[in-house]
């Protein structure tokens, strides 16, 4: 793997691996790391990167919805067919769910540095839950589309290059790795919700047991930026086959 200047990375090995692929995001993070403390980084990255990327993903979802508004598709409950719906309705529902999360970021209070410790931790916990719920919407999209990819269903897919093969046992089968990565990123950051909630409790009037909450929140915001763009790019290549 190409060596990355540690000054430009964020915190975890996960970010060393994934974030450098997103050149635009890397430029922003490089600028933040030179000039800002962690609270200012959080305050800046939400309007600079998080909100625009969420709106862009929402537009892509609506584009698919409009282009496929009348295409009928089976409605499934526990993988069993129960009536019909349309591709347009499915993707319009995704867009509405994502929009509610985006509006949450728009209304988020980011003046953390001006708050007392307990109130600051509560505000960060609220923000982390918003991050986690946005991850969950995107992971739900990824999981649903993975289901439509299944060879016995094959309602959605992608025109892969001829030289791309699947597993060694099934070379004809190419997994929807773009959508699988979205779900994997969700699994990585969701468990940290409990850490954010526990940070609301301090010993006495202040201590250092919650010192990593701001860094953890900033790292999650960076990962959400990456995942949102990754999902949007995957959707641009999505083919509706019904």
Q: How many CA atoms lie within 13 A of 213 on its CB side?
A: 29
Least confident among 87-101, 127-141, 193-207, 211-225: 193-207
Domain 46-240 matching CATH 1.10.20.140: the answer reads: no
Whether pLDDT at 169 is above 90: no
pLDDT tens-digit series, residues 189-203: 999 999 898 888 877
Extents of the domains making up the chain = 46-240
pLDDT (average), residues 66-70: 94
Whether pLDDT at 111 is above 70: yes
pLDDT tens-digit series, residues 198-218: 888 877 666 777 788 888 899
pLDDT tens-digit series, residues 117-127: 888 889 999 99
Whole-number pLDDT of residue 126:
94
**What gap in Å lies between CA 220 and CA 81, rounded to an integer?**
37
As a whole number, the mean pLDDT across the chain is 83
Whole-number pLDDT of residue 168:
56
94: left (phi over 0), alpha (psi -120 to 50) or beta: alpha
pLDDT (average), residues 104-130: 90
- Assigned token pair, 9: 């990375």
Least confident among 3-17, 56-70, 98-112: 3-17
């Amino acid at each position: 793997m190409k060596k990355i200047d540690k000054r430009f990375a964020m915190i975890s090995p996960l970010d060393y691996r994934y974030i450098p692929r997103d050149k635009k995001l890397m430029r922003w993070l490089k600028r933040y790391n030179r000039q800002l403390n962690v609270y200012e980084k959080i305050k800046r990255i939400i309007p600079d990167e998080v909100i625009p990327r969420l709106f862009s993903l929402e537009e892509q979802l609506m584009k698919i919805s409009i282009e496929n508004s009348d295409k009928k598709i089976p409605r499934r409950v526990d993988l069993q067919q129960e009536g019909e719906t349309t591709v347009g309705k499915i993707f319009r529902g995704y867009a509405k769910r994502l929009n509610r999360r985006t509006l949450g970021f728009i209304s988020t209070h980011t003046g953390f540095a001006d708050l007392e410790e307990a109130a600051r931790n509560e505000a960060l916990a609220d923000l982390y839950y918003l991050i986690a719920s946005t991850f969950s919407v995107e992971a739900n999209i990824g999981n649903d589309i993975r289901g439509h990819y299944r060879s016995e269903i094959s309602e959605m897919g992608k025109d892969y290059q001829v030289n791309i093969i699947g597993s060694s046992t099934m070379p004809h089968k190419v997994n929807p790795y773009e959508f699988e990565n979205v779900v994997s990123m969700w699994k990585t950051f969701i468990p940290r919700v409990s850490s954010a909630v526990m940070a609301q409790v301090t010993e006495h009037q202040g201590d250092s047991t919650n010192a990593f909450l701001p860094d953890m929140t900033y790292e999650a915001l960076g990962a959400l930026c990456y995942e949102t763009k990754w999902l949007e790019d995957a959707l641009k290549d999505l083919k509706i086959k019904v």
